């Protein structure tokens, strides 16, 4: 939606409909000392090229992950997106606004999901890989729930506390159903303590969870 400021006649018409006499009366619930009494201190507008250079000069003041190694963690990992990805996404036959539930016009999305699942299976050695989940936390909780519902009666999930805390919150929300129990194992020196996790595994354990890279990067 384009931003179009309201001219004075339009403002007056809206105030009249509201039964108000002025904008000050409209915002009377806001303390006077909190209101801006003069124009904002903003520079004049810039052209696209000028704005691009300005923003680039501001960004250059930051330390970036291209020139320095990144240990940010918390999901802010160093990513690289190959150039062909953007071009593929621009092709209407590959990426559309339709959901995969309409396969006749969503072959591109279905192909990308298939290729993702295939590559994940090759990387992990697993027989199957799921896709189309909302986010990492939901994927974790769904995987743990699936492991606990495998029919073997195991309900315990052994998980390192180096996993993203938001993922842990989502997983703990699933415990309200009573179908799984979370066993949190403290990490060691910013890494998952594999020995401690192995010791926590017993006959009631459905699965064990570590994150790589973990929350600490």
Residue 192, burial from CB neighbour count under 10 angstroms (0-12, 13-18, 19+): buried
pTM > 0.85: yes or no: no
Q: How far apart are alpha carbons 11 and 190 in whole angstroms?
A: 57
Q: How much is the pLDDT for 6?
A: 85
Q: How much is the pLDDT for 107?
A: 74
CB atoms within 10 A of CB 103: 11
Q: How much is the pLDDT for 95?
A: 67
Q: How much is the pLDDT for 96?
A: 65
Q: Measured between alpha carbons, how far is residue 166 from residues 5, 105, 172 in Å?
A: 40, 35, 10
Q: Measured between alpha carbons, how far is residue 96 from residues 68, 91, 107 in Å?
A: 37, 8, 9
Q: How much is the pLDDT for 132?
A: 78
Q: How much is the pLDDT for 4?
A: 72
Q: How far apart are alpha carbons 11 and 50 in whole angstroms?
A: 34
Q: Which residues of the chain have pLDDT under 70?
A: 1-3, 95-105
Q: Are 155 and 179 in contact (CB under 8 A)?
A: yes
Q: How much is the pLDDT for 99?
A: 63
One-letter-per-residue 3-state SS of the chain: CCCCCCCHHHHHHHHHHHCCCCHHHHCCCCCHHHCCCCCCCCCCCCCHHHHHHHHHHHHCCCCCCCCCCCCCCCCCCCCCCCHHHHHHHCCCCCCCCCCCCCHHHCHHHHHHHHHHHHHHHHHHCCCCCCCCCCCHHHHHHHHHHHHHCCCCCCCEEEEECCCCHHHHHHHHHHHHHCCCEEEEECCECCECCHHHHHHHCCCCEEEEECCCCCCCC
Q: How much is the pLDDT for 13?
A: 93
Q: 43 pairs with which residues across the strands?
A: none
Q: How far apart are alpha carbons 36 and 197 in whole angstroms?
A: 56
Q: How much is the pLDDT for 201?
A: 95
HSE (side-chain half, CA atoms, 13 Å) at 15: 15
């Amino acid at each position: 939606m384009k931003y179009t400021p309201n001219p004075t006649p339009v403002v007056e018409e809206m105030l009249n409909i509201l039964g108000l006499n002025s904008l000050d009366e409209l915002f009377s619930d806001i303390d006077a000392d909190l209101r801006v009494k003069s124009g904002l201190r903003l520079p004049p507008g810039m052209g696209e090229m000028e704005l691009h250079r300005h923003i680039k000069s501001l960004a250059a003041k930051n330390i970036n992950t291209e020139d320095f190694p990144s240990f940010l963690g918390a999901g802010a990992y160093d990513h690289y997106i190959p150039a062909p990805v953007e071009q593929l996404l621009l092709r209407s036959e590959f990426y559309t606004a339709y959901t995969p539930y309409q396969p006749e016009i969503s072959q591109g999305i279905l192909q990308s999901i298939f290729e993702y699942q295939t590559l994940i299976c090759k990387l992990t050695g697993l027989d199957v890989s799921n896709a189309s989940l909302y986010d990492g936390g939901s994927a974790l909780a769904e995987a743990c729930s699936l492991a606990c519902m495998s029919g073997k009666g195991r309900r315990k999930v052994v998980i390192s506390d180096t996993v993203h805390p938001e993922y842990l919150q989502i997983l703990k929300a699933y415990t309200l159903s009573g179908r799984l129990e979370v066993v949190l194992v403290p990490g060691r020196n910013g890494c998952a303590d594999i020995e401690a996790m192995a010791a926590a595994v017993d006959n009631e354990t459905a699965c064990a969870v570590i994150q790589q890279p973990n929350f600490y990067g």
